[in-house]
Amino acid sequence: MENKKPKVAIIHDWLVAYAGADRVLDRMVRIFPGAVVYTLVYDKANMPAWFAGYDIRTTYIQKLPFATKIYKALLPFMPAAFEALDLSEYDMVISSCSSCSKGVITRPDAVHICYCNTPIRYAWDFYYTYRDNASWLAQRIMPHQMHKLRQWDKCAADRVDYFIANSHFIAKRIKKYYRRDSDVIYPCVHINPQPLLPKEDFYLVVGRFTWYKRMDLAVAACTQLGRRLVVVGTGGEEKRLRALAGPTIEFKGTLSDEEIQSYYLRAKAFLFPGEEDFGITPVEAQSAGTPVLAYGRGGACETVADGKTGLLFHAQTVEALVTCIEQFEAEGVSDTPAEIRNHSLRFSEERFDAELKAYCEKRYADWQQALRECSHPGGAAEAIDGGIKT
């Protein structure tokens, strides 16, 4: 059996908006040109125009009415939908996963590498928080669904040959819930190419208005301090956020990438009060030379250098963020805007491309070598222990 160029399939949870995980998928397709993308549902209207040039195939869920709008409510049907995908023609399968996409079935001699953004949050460590913030109906359905989902999710993780975690924070979750080791490759972030600008007297938050991002803390803290805050984004929490906002809070809605970049470049600091698996926006802010004031849990602990490129606060409360803002205004941070930008380069798209390509090629070569050894009498057990599973 000679080494050959593998035929690659990339499995993604869903393609309904061009968010952080979708940007990572975009880079994966560029790293492996010609790869076929499989996903639960695909909303062409909400994805960049160049996605039309990708070979994207969906599950049978796509045929359901309003599937791209109600897909999250179809969680009980996702495992079967991904398992129904026929991937028998592919030598390498890369799943880009924060939900059920890692549960696909592959050939015995194909290698499956999972780039894991997180084990399913609403099934594991965030279950109680998600349940308490869900609708009345969901609160009554979730407890009856989660036990089976957790069982399936653990079985799905066992089908993966190699795990990549998007941060050391997520590597610990993978070890906790799946009992599997993983290698860390940070996601890709588009690094600001524009010259740095003088900072203006306002703070900035960017993101979807969902409860776990805790934008309410930023709005309440800046209202209490009377500081100008620019809020970029939309979502279900907008009415509540506007009710909290004082006269110094400005809601900008949905903006283009260029418009957001302008705010990143001019903001005195970026506020990041949520707990994220990695968190792309704090890196985007730093690439514009802007310090980040972040809640000290999750991926921000790996992307923000406390005291140098930003400040971390350790209680997810308005009072803690107010204290952090006051400390920043009194002491600042030690790094210059240029040094803050240089810090962000370790998360660049070019670095991601090189690391992921080298990793997958090495794992595929190791897999092929293990299969060759398995074909010789007496070599099977040693090859499997040393090469096929980690």
Provide the pLDDT for residue 128: 60
Q: What percent of the chain clears pLDDT 70, i.e. is strictly above it?
A: 90
Expressed in percent and rounded to 5, the helix, strand and coil fractions of the chain are 50, 15, 35
Strand order of the β-sheet with 56-58 is: 56-58, 36-39, 8-12, 92-97, 111-116, 162-165, 183-184
Of 123 and 316, the structure prediction assigns the larger pLDDT to 316
Q: What is the DSSP string of 195-212?
A: PP----S-EEEES---GG
Kindly state whether residues 227 and 128 are assigned to the same domain. no
Kindly state whether residues 31 and 97 are assigned to the same domain. yes
Kindly state whether residues 172 and 51 are assigned to the same domain. yes
Kindly state whether residues 234 and 182 are assigned to the same domain. no
Kindly state whether residues 172 and 306 are assigned to the same domain. no
Residue 2 lies in a domain: no
Residue 356 lies in a domain: no
Residue 368 lies in a domain: no
Residue 4, pLDDT above cutoff 90: no
Task: Give the pLDDT confidence of 73-86 residue by residue, as tens digits.
Answer: 888 899 999 999 99
Q: Which residues face 39 on adjacent strands?
A: 12, 58
Kindly state whether residues 218 and 179 are assigned to the same domain. no
Kindly state whether residues 158 and 224 are assigned to the same domain. no
- Predicted TM-score of the model (pTM): 0.87
Provide the pLDDT for residue 319: 98
Kindly state whether residues 36 and 171 are assigned to the same domain. yes
CA torsion sign for 361, 362, 365, 370 is negative
Residue 88 lies in a domain: yes
Q: What is the rounded average pLDDT for all residues in the chain?
A: 91
Q: How confident is the model at residue 133 (pLDDT cuts 50, 70, 90)?
A: low
Rounded Cα distance between 272 and 304, Å, is: 11
The CATH number covering residue 341 comes to 3.40.50.2000
Q: How confident is the model at residue 301 (pLDDT cuts 50, 70, 90)?
A: very high
Residue 358 lies in a domain: no
Q: How many domains does the chain have?
A: 2
Chain-centroid distance of CA 185 in Å reads 12
Last residue of one domain, picked from the residues 329, 346, 363: 346
Kindly state whether residues 165 and 227 are assigned to the same domain. no
Of the candidates 125, 124, 123, 300, the one whose C-alpha atom is nearest the C-alpha of residue 213 is 300
- Classify residue 99 by its DSSP letter: S
Provide the pLDDT for residue 323: 98
Residue 41, pLDDT above cutoff 80: yes
The CATH number covering residue 48 comes to 3.40.50
Choose the weakest-confidence range: 135-144, 292-301, 334-343.
135-144
Task: Give the pLDDT confidence of 144-163 residue by residue, as tens digits.
Answer: 678 898 999 999 999 999 99
CA torsion sign for 80, 169, 211, 199 is negative
Last residue of one domain, picked from the residues 188, 221, 252: 188
Residue 45 lies in a domain: yes
Q: Please say whether the beta carbons of 282 and 310 come within 8 A.
A: yes
- Classify residue 387 by its DSSP letter: I
Kindly state whether residues 106 and 156 are assigned to the same domain. yes
Residue 215 lies in a domain: yes
Kindly state whether residues 152 and 45 are assigned to the same domain. yes
Average pLDDT over residues 68-74: 89
Residue 18 lies in a domain: yes
Task: Give the pLDDT confidence of 182-212 residue by residue, as tens digits.
Answer: 999 999 999 999 999 999 999 999 998 988 8
Q: Which residues face 12 on adjacent strands?
A: 39, 96
Task: Give the pLDDT confidence of 212-252 residue by residue, as tens digits.
Answer: 899 999 999 999 999 999 999 998 899 999 999 999 999 99
Kindly state whether residues 46 and 176 are assigned to the same domain. yes
Residue 384, pLDDT above cutoff 60: no
Residue 65, pLDDT above cutoff 50: yes
Provide the pLDDT for residue 385: 47
Domain that holds residue 305: 203-346
